[in-house]
Amino acid sequence: MRALTAIFLTVLMSLLAITASSQNETDTTEILGLYQGWRDAVENANIDGYVAVLHADISLRPPGAQGLDGRDKYAVFLEPVFESASYEIQIDNAPSVTFLGSAALVEYDYTIYRHDHIDSTADLPPGAIARAKTSAHYIDVVTRDSSGAWKVRLHSWQDWPAEI
C-alpha cells in the first residue's frame, strides 16, 4: 500500500508541475503580449493604449523624480509627454518574466529615442524622458487586476549613463 501511495503522490506532483509549467507559459505569453501593446502605444502616442496595460493602482517610480500613483494620474502625466515628442523604442534585451507567486517581475533593457515636436509648447513633467536618447534597465511588477488580466502594477527603471 505504501508503494502505491508513493507512486500516486509522485504522479500527482508531476501532473501539478506540468500544469504549473503550462500555466506559466500561458501567463508569460500574455505578459509579453502586454509589453508589445505597450511599446506600440508609446510609438503611436496612444495614451488610451498605454494606460490600458496599467493596473488601476499603478505606481510610477522614475529615477530622480517624485513618483505618482494611480492610472488617472499617469494618464495626465502622459499628455505633455506625447504632445511634446514622438518616440521610438529599441529593444536591447527583451522582457524576461519571473513569477513570484501571484505576481511577476519583468526586467528588460530599452533605448528610447525621443523626437521633439518643434511646435510644441508642452512642459514635461518631472520624471519624463527628456533626452534625445535614453538607455535604461527597467524593472516592473505585474499582477492581475479584478478582471483577471495581467497589468503593470509598478513601473521603474535605472538610466544608464548618457553617452558622451
pLDDT digits (tens, 9 = 90+) for 79-130: 999 999 999 999 999 999 999 989 999 999 999 999 999 888 889 999 999 9
Task: Please give the pLDDT value at position 23.
Answer: 64
Query: For residue 164, is it within any domain?
Result: no
Q: What is the DSSP string of 15-60?
A: HHHHHHHHHHHHHHHHHHHHHHHHHHHHHTT-HHHHHHTEEEEEEE
pLDDT digit string, tens, across residues 26-64: 999 999 999 999 999 999 999 999 999 999 999 999 998
User: Is residue 120 domain-resident?
Assistant: yes
Exposure string of 122-135, with b = 16+ CB inside 10 Å and e = fewer, is eebbebbbeeeebb
Q: Is residue 114 part of a domain?
A: yes
Domain hosting 65: range is 2-159
12: in domain: yes
- Please report whether residue 115 resides in a domain: yes
pLDDT-derived band at 18 (thresholds 50, 70, 90) equals very low
User: What CATH code is carried by the domain that includes residue 112?
Assistant: 3.10.450.50
Number of domains in the chain: 1
Per the domain annotation, does 30 fall within a domain? yes
